[in-house]
Amino acid sequence: MNYFTCTPDKINCVWEDSIRAFTYRLRYGLGFNDATNVAIMERKNISKLYSFDKVFDNVPWLKRDEA
């Protein structure tokens, strides 16, 4: 029995995401990897994530739920 009915899509990072990540590092106090994820999430209109990392709470438009 297969409990997984879907697989996640891979979302690529584009150059503009990396540039925007530098701004988010300063604005929200994020590390570069987290800032890059936030930039990609913004581009893809993703406003919710599951994470134990409370630094994402610094991003006002992002809703974090504990995983």
Write out pLDDT tens, residues 4-54: 667 778 889 999 999 999 999 999 999 999 999 999 999 999 999 999 999
Q: What is the pLDDT of residue 28?
A: 97
pLDDT in the model for residue 2: 54
pLDDT at 8: 76
Q: What is the pLDDT of residue 38?
A: 98
Other CB atoms within a 10 A radius of the CB of residue 11 amount to 13
Please, which residues have CB within 8 angstroms of residue 58's CB and are 6 or more apart in sequence? 28, 29, 30
Give exposure, 21-44, as e/b (b: 16+ Cβ within 10 Å): beebbeebebeeebbbbbbbbbee
Q: What pLDDT shows up at residue 5? A: 67
Q: Is the pLDDT of residue 61 over 70?
A: yes
